Amino acid sequence: MAESMTPVALSIAGSDSGAGAGAQADLLTFAANGVFGTTALTCLTAQNPGGVSGVLPVPAAFVLAQCEQVRAHFHPKAAKTGMLLQADIVRAVADFVRGSGIPTVVDPVMVATSGATLLQADAIEAMRTELIPLAAVVTPNLDEASLLLGRKAEGGAQAGAEALELARRHGVPFLVKGGHGAGDRLVDALAWPDGRTVEMISARVPGIDTHGSGCTLSAAIAAGLARGKDLEEAVREAHAYLQKALRNPLPVAGLRCIRHI
pLDDT tens column, 93-115: 999 999 999 999 999 998 666 55
Q: What pLDDT, on a 0 to 100 scale, did the predictor assign at position 1?
A: 46
Instruction: Determine the Cα–Cα distance for residues 224 and 9; give it in Å rounded to an integer.
Output: 10
Between CA 144 and CA 161 the distance in angstroms is: 16
Q: What is the CATH number of domain 8-257?
A: 3.40.1190.20
What distance, in Å, lies between the first and last C-alpha atoms of the chain? 30
In the structure, what pLDDT confidence band is assigned to residue 121 with cuts at 50, 70 and 90?
confident
pLDDT at 181 over 90: no
What does the pLDDT average to over 126-139? 97
Using DSSP, state whether 198 is helix, strand or coil. Answer: strand
Whole-number percent of the chain with pLDDT over 70: 96
The full set of domain ranges for the chain reads 8-257
pLDDT on residue 3: 75
Higher pLDDT, 90 or 113: 90
Q: Is the pLDDT of residue 261 over 60?
A: yes
Q: Bigger pLDDT: 208 or 193?
A: 193
Q: Are 76 and 11 in contact (CB under 8 A)?
A: no
C-beta separation of 16 from 47 below 8 A: yes
pLDDT of residue 42: 98
Q: Over 88-147, what HEC string results?
A: HHHHHHHHHHHHHCCCEEECCCCECCCCCECECHHHHHHHHHHHHHHCCEECCCHHHHHH
Q: Are strands 174-176 and 185-191 parallel, antiparallel or unpaired?
A: antiparallel
| Helix residue ranges per DSSP H, 7-108 | 22-32, 60-74, 87-100
If you average pLDDT over each of 36-50, 100-114, 170-184, which comes out highest? Answer: 36-50
